[in-house]
Structure 1
Amino acid sequence: MTAVAGSEARTADRYSTRVSTTPAFVERTEPTVWGDETSAGMFGAQELAAHARDGFVQVPGLLNSEEVAGYQAELDRLAGDPAVRADERCVIEPDSQSVRSIFEVHRISNAIARLVADERVLSRARQILGSDVYVHQSRINYKPGFGGGGFYWHSDFETWHSEDGMPSPRAVSCSISLTDNHAFNGCLMIMPGSHRTFVSCVGETPEDNHLSSLKEQEIGTPDDDSITALAERHGIAMVTGKAGSATFFDANCMHGSGDNITPYSRSNIFLVFNSVENACGEPYYAPARRPEHVGARDFTPVH
């Protein structure tokens, strides 16, 4: 590997991964919630305590029905735009050739740019991370009926650390549902409490790994025994809810989702906020940085 973080940084790194032939569990030392209910934000003490305990917290009705309809129309517009489909930021399902994801969507869509700065979203991210925040990644995930592909079990932080150079798991994702999330249409699954344990993965990062991993991730996914051990320790929560609901979850949560073989589509807007005090450097365990649209290098705080 060439453009990886310096040897001193890697030697001192607690979250070593993709360098050993055997996986390992590393217990986290950093907090999950860096702010509190006295910080300017819309979370109360009970919600922040749930986030600290489980690694995630739901916000029912973050968007009203009119807003949901507006964002659904925007998702349809983007998916049907030939220029967007031809852009490198658009990921196509390998089997159905339908749109799987559109990355850096807050720079493509003015509507989603406004959502990033909406206090209902932004203030909660600041509260959790205890600082100003920037957008590390944004995307739309489409999971149409009869063929929407799943996402295998993984920790986002494992990838962001390895391939984007994120120092610690001081980042939070906000998934905003634009369709009803049922237990049967490929809903998000999270192992509550798994955010407190980092699972190292086996397999060196190949060059341009993002070109395949965004369609179907293999490198950076835990082995079966590690997933089984975490599931037995924490159980699995199925995150369901009405369109307009949101789920904030920690960067190190073990999560995934199954294929959608039902007639009922599932789509969401996915916003990743990172603390400005946790800005990314060189990748720890990858040959080179991923493209800007996958792992941002603009650390300007959102206001």
Structure 2
Amino acid sequence: MTAVAGSDDLTRPQETGDRYHTRVSREPAFIERVEPTVWGDPGSAGMFGAQELAAHSRDGFVQVPDLLTGDEVAFHQAELDRLANDPAVRADERCVIEKSSDEVRSIFEVHRISAAVARLVRDERVLSRARQILGSDVYLHQSRINYKPGFGGGGFYWHSDFETWHAEDGMPTPRAVSCSISLTDNHPYNGCLMIMPGSHRTFVSCVGETPADYYRTSLTEQEIGTPDPDSITAMADRHGIAMMTGRAGSATWFDSNCLHGSGDNITPYSRSNIFLVFNSVENACVEPFYAPKPRPEYIGARDVTPVR
């Protein structure tokens, strides 16, 4: 059974002044969010219109069709292929290999490995939208490529990114937004991103203490920091599940506290994306709230220099 915030079992973390306690109790809890989703003025200059910002505030996500042109998609797809087949990249600690195969699963801090991705981070089509949502200058908390090849690309279990970033990276509040740019067509059947619309308004605390250096195993298969089945069921019953489908070049912007996940890809059709996480410079990470020490810089950046 899911507890409500304020039960006796959860008083210790509340007394520390942290609202979003997690991984410290025998029971999960639903904690209602108090911060906004769109921090900026709806009329502020940028690529998002007022209706798109309203949708993001309501649902926790908004899709942008054709963020990239066909030529740009082909260019970046070739870059992803180059990186995945570069022996030096595969040997780098920032590269994560699938547990069940020799395929590349993810490459972290990719904007420091690829000049093409670094340019995309600074692209006004991307950067202006991040500033509109977060209402401030932004820095890159995390960048990565996610590969989900056909015939075995592994899924990502239901989770809130903010739960992990709060517990393990020390991100104080959910004032961060992710941009997932598809470089392949996303279908309902090839492991597309799934989000529970409106789930960003509720923080689902998780059970289980964070082990030391947990990132070494969680990047291939996360267990600690994932909601329990009853909590997932309750949230799905409340919000439903939306599938983020669309053609290559489209982008999905979603709030850091959205419950989301994706299934395995057993089709012949690969799914890959560039994943950029922007955090407000006013929401810089501190010491982890519920982990022994911060994760490495390439997973959770601590340099808050604004992206220009």
Range 192-201 or range 29-38, more displaced: 29-38
Give matches, 1:252-271, under 5 Å.
252-271=257-276
* Structure 1: segments with no counterpart, 5+ residues: 1-6
State the alpha-carbon separation in 1 of the partners of residues 116 and 42 from structure 2: 29
Task: Look up the match of 2:133.
Answer: 128
Q: 1:212 aligns with which of 206, 217, 231?
A: 217
Percent of matched pairs sharing the same residue? 82
Contact kept? 2:47, 2:129, Cα under 8 Å? yes
1:152 equivalent in alignment to 2:176: no
State the alpha-carbon separation in 2 of the partners of residues 179 and 144 from structure 1: 11
Give matches, 1:143-292, under 5 Å.
143-292=148-297
Contact kept? 2:195, 2:243, Cα under 8 Å? yes
- SS in structure 1 of the partner of residue 249 of structure 2: coil
Displacement over 6 Å in runs of 4+: 7-10
State the alpha-carbon separation in 2 of the partners of residues 248 and 196 from structure 1: 16
Task: Look up the match of 1:4.
Answer: none
Task: Look up the match of 2:112.
Answer: 107
State the alpha-carbon separation in 2 of the partners of residues 202 and 128 from structure 1: 31
State the alpha-carbon separation in 2 of the partners of residues 9 and 279 from structure 1: 21
Give, as a single letter, the amino acid of the residue that structure 1 aligns with 2:236.
Answer: A
* Structure 2: segments with no counterpart, 5+ residues: 1-11
State the alpha-carbon separation in 1 of the partners of residues 136 and 150 from structure 2: 39
Give, as a single letter, the amino acid of the residue that structure 2 aligns with 1:95.
Answer: S
Contact kept? 2:14, 2:21, Cα under 8 Å? no
State the alpha-carbon separation in 2 of the partners of residues 29 and 167 from structure 1: 13
- SS in structure 2 of the partner of residue 176 of structure 1: strand
Q: Which has the higher relative contact order, 1 or 2, with Cα contacts under 8 A spaced 6 or more apart? A: 1
- SS in structure 2 of the partner of residue 142 of structure 1: strand
Task: Look up the match of 2:6.
Answer: none
Task: Look up the match of 2:304.
Answer: 299
Mark the CA change 1:294 to 1:9 in structure 2 (over 3 Å): closer, same or farther: farther
Query: CA RMSD of the aligned region, Å?
Result: 1.1
Give, as a single letter, the amino acid of the residue that structure 2 aligns with 1:216.
Answer: E
Give matches, 1:23-62, under 5 Å.
23-62=28-67
TM-score by length of 1: 0.97
Aligned length: 297
Contact kept? 1:145, 1:265, Cα under 8 Å? yes
Task: Give 1:53 shift.
Answer: 0.2
Give, as a single letter, the amino acid of the residue that structure 2 aligns with 1:109.
Answer: S
Contact kept? 2:190, 2:270, Cα under 8 Å? yes
Task: Give 1:10 shift.
Answer: 6.8
State the alpha-carbon separation in 1 of the partners of residues 25 and 45 from structure 2: 43
State the alpha-carbon separation in 2 of the partners of residues 281 and 119 from structure 1: 29
State the alpha-carbon separation in 1 of the partners of residues 196 and 307 from structure 2: 30
Contact kept? 1:36, 1:45, Cα under 8 Å? no
Task: Give 1:37 shift.
Answer: 3.4
Contact kept? 1:203, 1:219, Cα under 8 Å? yes
State the alpha-carbon separation in 2 of the partners of residues 132 and 203 from structure 1: 35
TM-score by length of 2: 0.95
Task: Give 1:11 shift.
Answer: 1.1
Contact kept? 1:132, 1:276, Cα under 8 Å? yes
State the alpha-carbon separation in 2 of the partners of residues 223 and 157 from structure 1: 16
Task: Look up the match of 2:7.
Answer: none
Task: Give 1:9 shift.
Answer: 8.9
State the alpha-carbon separation in 1 of the partners of residues 244 and 41 from structure 2: 24
